[in-house]
Amino acid sequence: MNDDFRSAAHAAAELVADYLDGVPGRPVWQPMDPAERAALLEWELPEDGVGLEELLKAVGERIMPHPMGNGSSRFFGWVNSSPQPAGVLATLAASAMNPSSAGGDHADVHLERAMVRWIAELVGFPHPAGGGILTSGTSMATIVCLATARNRAARNAGRDVREDGLAGLPPLVGYVTGEAHSCVRKAAELLGLGSKHLRVVPTDADGHLLLDGLERAIAEDRAAGRLPFLVVASAGTVGTGAVDPFEPIADLAAREGLWFHVDGAYGAFGILDETIRHRYAGMDRADSLALDPHKWLGVPVDCGCALVRDAEELRGAFSLVPSYLRDDAAGDLGWFSEYGTEQTRPFRSLKVWASIAHRGRTGVARDIAHCTAQARRLGEWVEQDPELELLAPVETSIVAFRYRPQGVAEETVQQLNSRLPVAIQLRGQVFVTGAVYQGREILRACLLNASTTDADVRLLLDEVKSAGAELLAGLRTSN
Amino acid sequence: MNDDFRSAAHAAAELVADYLDGVPGRPVWQPMDPAERAALLEWELPEDGVGLEELLKAVGERIMPHPMGNGSSRFFGWVNSSPQPAGVLATLAASAMNPSSAGGDHADVHLERAMVRWIAELVGFPHPAGGGILTSGTSMATIVCLATARNRAARNAGRDVREDGLAGLPPLVGYVTGEAHSCVRKAAELLGLGSKHLRVVPTDADGHLLLDGLERAIAEDRAAGRLPFLVVASAGTVGTGAVDPFEPIADLAAREGLWFHVDGAYGAFGILDETIRHRYAGMDRADSLALDPHKWLGVPVDCGCALVRDAEELRGAFSLVPSYLRDDAAGDLGWFSEYGTEQTRPFRSLKVWASIAHRGRTGVARDIAHCTAQARRLGEWVEQDPELELLAPVETSIVAFRYRPQGVAEETVQQLNSRLPVAIQLRGQVFVTGAVYQGREILRACLLNASTTDADVRLLLDEVKSAGAELLAGLRTSN
């Protein structure tokens, strides 16, 4: 069987190299033919097995022609990056070894400790031993961090949540802005806190948390007998990439005894760009920071990371060692499975290591700076174009804009921009997604790919205008 | 860069093929040299990048010599399997494509729908469209299932947990046995239910849930104003692989209005073996079933799966679609990210598909049956050996036993068996782990590998007795 495996592994190497070579020449994305979609959805569980060669053939013919599109330098949708080639190779080795990085004395466990430290070093966050863990993504990292925050707050109110639960406790209240990622609300719901106890505090015009609004909300909640415990700030909001003012939030959190959590999923690594580094002042004062190496670092999906200032608090929120997992040799830090929700854990650290080490700190920083510079350029081009409108300052590498040809009524502009993302995607040249920002339908381009060129960015704007003009003509004809 | 990638991909193919070829000839596991361990732990973030070739060299020299051991046919520890070769190759293709299987119209999303269905078909669980999702493991699948159960129960009590949280609600109570996996308790803690509201109900001598104890506990809780809502049964307990009596539990759950959850992490796939299939009668009546393709199916870590009978209930527990993720073309089922906690989701389905399709249903069933047959044989050999003691019937493929040389006091037997796992592991011939079962220190062998031979199983027993005799001699000398 191993000879089979060896030749199949070489065939797989060719398959993925061909795939990656082909990305620039293909449409970014195209909808699947209904028959091909149905063939996948209705694929029958085979009674008998098929050889490795045949399986790879099926991957090449039925799967690889239908990617999400985020491998392309012309993919500007959501916050999905192209994978680092070194990280791709690492996934092969990681799955061949197939350890559980729960704990024990094998390479993956020790490498994960080092990689959590590397990530903390990259974003300038303090890293006590044990103060972090790789997760499936920031959604999970947020659950880990907020569970830790919740448990500390309840303990301060005389309650052991792990033992006693939340029933009978006054509501614990957290504070977010309207720009916070939905994973914060999902975490609050999962943790039994209730989304109505996640209060939305006001922002300034560009989406930054306003301190006086936060203070007022805290005072109201205290007066009503609720227990304020958490404030969440963003190191790059979903809609516009805005970075919240960390220093004053940290001051307030310290004064009010709140847990200060930073959602750095997409944006935390922006700190590596010297030109925008100043925006991140105070991020290192957070109690916890959640971020996604599978976004701006290009680590193949999935890889998030939770960094927590107080490692003991983190371990205390999750440690539970049944007899069959007892490991007398585990050392002071114990097992990773004591620091989060998972027992069996994949070997994520190898792809993190490869993705960072292939470029080194300088290479990673250069890639990040490339993206922010290009986003600023895109922002400038939008501002210079009378048919386009920039809707927020470009703080990191997200550009929020819309198509607004002159002399067109606001209602029609809304209609156009709500339809534009799909229309553009179908053309297959570039991929951009939409959002609603401050009541407006917008286009939202996120630049994460260091191989994206000026020409790619220009093409994005050309496509927006060309697809927009087509849509507009269609609307006028149908009216 | 792509030429570099192509040659590195071939080098990676050689590296992993060599690695897999080398597994049988190497010690199953050896502790790391302190200097090598420290080198990983203290690895410095490099300032400059290193080439792909050099990275692969480092993987071969610094990482691969230190595996967990679960690739070996002589690894009987925990519940960690050897990876399916087809699944290993699939991880390379999956990470090169690097989609987010959150939703949209790309191959990975449709393939995941098919694979959840395949898994449901394999274990004979009803599968409504949308009634399941791949997760990082059963820990996460359990959180997903229990959150859904919690929300339904609270709604029946007039409360919307997502909106309102648990504060002020009477305690929701779930029922487990002492043999339940710790992930159930961790889920209850995370969800804000509190572990004290997860009541431990009695079992029979072999670890099966006793119905009358459960009924009594429910009545007590109702009388005290608490809200019974959940019963968790196991399709293969951690300690001994016991399968709970599903039919009467399903009857009781229906009668009492409880959510019936089955933890099938390890054991659900045992249903594929005709010789033990009868034990699983009624598993298909559960409201939810959590299981791990990364265990008995050998899918490379990580891959769990949550199967939920009521797809709408599942979606209702998690759906939250912010404007930037709105997808008007998503169809009736929406996005996977509406059915669980993750937003960005890895392309797990490709390795599931490859791992199953390479063998087909018959091949998977044959592999499962090989393990259960060998476990029964191991159990017989233990029973025939006067120095060994079988501690529970072999119901699936876990064998709970201990070393008990004649004429040795119980206290010494306990001491010996608590030290045996590490002593055996250090010898590097076989890998087995321990547990405490019914107050006894035991050895617990889990058979998951279809390439494990009679000779491997014999070697396990030889090693237990030989290491045991050595330990005993050591104890006698030191006394």
Q: How confident is the model at residue B478 (pLDDT cuts 50, 70, 90)?
A: confident
pLDDT in tens, B245-293: 999 999 999 999 999 999 999 999 999 999 999 999 999 999 999 999 9
Amino acid A337: pLDDT? 92
Question: Are residues B344 and B467 located together in one domain of the fold?
Answer: no
- How far from the centroid of its chain's Cα atoms is residue A201's Cα? 23
Domain boundary among A359, A379, A398: A359
Domain boundary among A359, A380, A405: A359
Amino acid B321: pLDDT? 75
CATH number, domain with residue B23? 1.20.1340
Domain of B402?
A: 362-478
Q: What is the pLDDT of chain B when averaged over all its residues?
A: 96
Judge whether B96 is closer than 8 Å to chain A, CB to CB.
yes
Amino acid B2: pLDDT? 53
Assembly ipTM:
0.97
Amino acid B3: pLDDT? 62
Question: Are residues A144 and A10 located together in one domain of the fold?
Answer: no
Interface A-B: count of C-beta contacts within 8 A: 529
CATH number, domain with residue B416? 3.90.1150.170
CB contact under 8 A, B358 and A196: no
Amino acid A473: pLDDT? 96
Question: Are residues A49 and A110 located together in one domain of the fold?
Answer: no
Tally of domains within chain B: 3
Amino acid B325: pLDDT? 65
Question: Are residues A31 and A169 located together in one domain of the fold?
Answer: no
Q: How far apart are the first and last CA of chain A?
A: 66
- Is the per-residue pLDDT at A1 higher than 60? no
Amino acid A478: pLDDT? 77
Question: Are residues A197 and A310 located together in one domain of the fold?
Answer: yes
Contact yes or no for A168/B168 (Cβ under 8 A): yes
d(CA A173, CA A188): 10
Query: What is the chain A residue with the closest CA to B52?
Result: A86
What CA dihedral angle connects B188, B191, B194 and B199, to 10 degrees? Answer: -30
> Mind giving me the DSSP string for A293-330?
TTTTT-PPS--EEEEES-HHHHHHHH----GGG--TTS
Q: Which are the contacts of B476, defined by CB distance < 8 A and separation ≥ 6?
A: none
A87 located within any domain:
no
A72 located within any domain:
no
Q: How confident is the model at residue B310 (pLDDT cuts 50, 70, 90)?
A: very high
Q: How far is B17 from chain A (nearest CA, A)?
A: 5
Amino acid B330: pLDDT? 67
- Is the per-residue pLDDT at B124 higher than 60? yes
Higher pLDDT, B2 or B19: B19
Mean pLDDT of B400-412: 97
Q: List A residues 373-402 in contact with B (Cβ-Cβ < 8 A).
A: none
Contact yes or no for A201/A217 (Cβ under 8 A): yes
Question: Are residues B195 and B338 located together in one domain of the fold?
Answer: yes
What secondary structure, in 3-state letters, does chain B show? CHHHHHHHHHHHHHHHHHHHHHHHHCCCCCCCCHHHHHHHHCCCCCCCCCCHHHHHHHHHHHHCCCCCCCCCCCECCCCCCCCCHHHHHHHHHHHHHCCCCCCCCCHHHHHHHHHHHHHHHHHCCCCCCCCEEEECCHHHHHHHHHHHHHHHHHHHCCCCHHHHCCCCCCCEEEEEECCCCHHHHHHHHHCCCCHHHEEEECECCCCCECHHHHHHHHHHHHHCCCEEEEEEEEECCCCCCCECCHHHHHHHHHHHCCEEEEEECCCHHHHHCCCCHHHHCCHHHCCEEEECCCCCCCCCCCCEEEEECCHHHHHHHHCCCCHHHCCCCCCCCCCHHHCCCCCCCCCCHHHHHHHHHCCHHHHHHHHHHHHHHHHHHHHHHHHHCCCEEECCCCCCCEEEEEECCCCCCHHHHHHHHHHHHHHHHHHCCCECEEEEECCEEEEEEECCCCCCCHHHHHHHHHHHHHHHHHHHHHHHHHC
A74 located within any domain:
no
Question: Are residues B339 and B382 located together in one domain of the fold?
Answer: no
Q: Which residues of A touch B344 (CB under 8 A)?
A: 79-80, 137, 139, 292, 294-295, 301-302
Amino acid B328: pLDDT? 65
Amino acid A20: pLDDT? 97
How many residues can be counted in chain B? 479
B21 → closest Cβ in A2, A118, A170: A2
Q: Taking each helix axis from N to C terminus, what angle separates B211-223 and B246-256, rounded to the nearest 10 degrees?
A: 20
- Is the per-residue pLDDT at A479 higher than 70? no
Amino acid B168: pLDDT? 86
Judge whether B414 is closer than 8 Å to chain A, CB to CB.
no
Q: Which residues of B touch A94 (CB under 8 A)?
A: 91
Query: What is the chain A residue with the closest CA to B194?
Result: A165
Domain boundary among B329, B360, B391: B360
Mean pLDDT of B172-179: 97
B405 located within any domain:
yes
Question: Are residues B371 and B284 located together in one domain of the fold?
Answer: no
User: How is residue A144 annotated by DSSP?
Assistant: H
A98 → closest Cβ in B13, B70, B93: B70
Question: Which percentage of chain A shows pLDDT scores above 70?
Answer: 97
Amino acid B320: pLDDT? 83
pLDDT in tens, A250-278: 999 999 999 999 999 999 999 999 999 99
Amino acid A202: pLDDT? 96
- Is the per-residue pLDDT at A383 higher than 90? yes
d(CA B200, CA B185): 10
- Is the per-residue pLDDT at B106 higher than 80? yes
The position carrying tokens 């990617």 is A67
Amino acid A328: pLDDT? 65
CATH number, domain with residue B288? 3.40.640.10
A49 → closest Cβ in B9, B193, B360: B360
- Is the per-residue pLDDT at A75 higher than 90? yes
Question: Which percentage of chain B shows pLDDT scores above 70?
Answer: 97
Question: Are residues B441 and B323 located together in one domain of the fold?
Answer: no
Question: Are residues B376 and B347 located together in one domain of the fold?
Answer: no
Contacts of residues A407-416 at CB distance under 8 Å and 24 or more positions apart, as own/partner, are A408/A472, A412/A472, A412/A475, A413/A441, A414/A440, A414/A441, A415/A441, A415/A475, A416/A468, A416/A471, A416/A472, A416/A475
Lowest-confidence segment of A144-153, A285-294, A420-429, B331-340 by average pLDDT: B331-340
B139 located within any domain:
yes
Question: Are residues B468 and B354 located together in one domain of the fold?
Answer: no
Tally Cβ neighbours within 10 Å of residue B453: 12
B166 → closest Cβ in A167, A300, A346: A167
B74 located within any domain:
no
Amino acid A323: pLDDT? 67
d(CA A434, CA B104): 14
Q: How far apart are the first and last CA of chain B?
A: 66
A185 located within any domain:
yes
Q: How confident is the model at residue A3 (pLDDT cuts 50, 70, 90)?
A: low
Amino acid A477: pLDDT? 85
Judge whether A421 is closer than 8 Å to chain B, CB to CB.
no
Judge whether B329 is closer than 8 Å to chain A, CB to CB.
yes
- Is the per-residue pLDDT at B341 higher than 90? yes
Task: Label the pairing between strands A388-390 and A172-177.
Answer: unpaired
Cα distances from B119 to residues A136, A143, B305, in angstroms, run 22, 27, 8
Mean pLDDT of A3-19: 95
Question: Are residues A344 and A375 located together in one domain of the fold?
Answer: no
Lowest-confidence segment of B40-49, B84-93, B317-326, B405-414 by average pLDDT: B317-326
A453 located within any domain:
yes
Judge whether A342 is closer than 8 Å to chain B, CB to CB.
yes
pLDDT in tens, A100-139: 999 999 999 999 999 999 999 999 999 999 999 999 999 9
Question: Which percentage of chain B shows pLDDT scores above 90?
Answer: 95
Amino acid B249: pLDDT? 98
Mean pLDDT of A148-166: 95
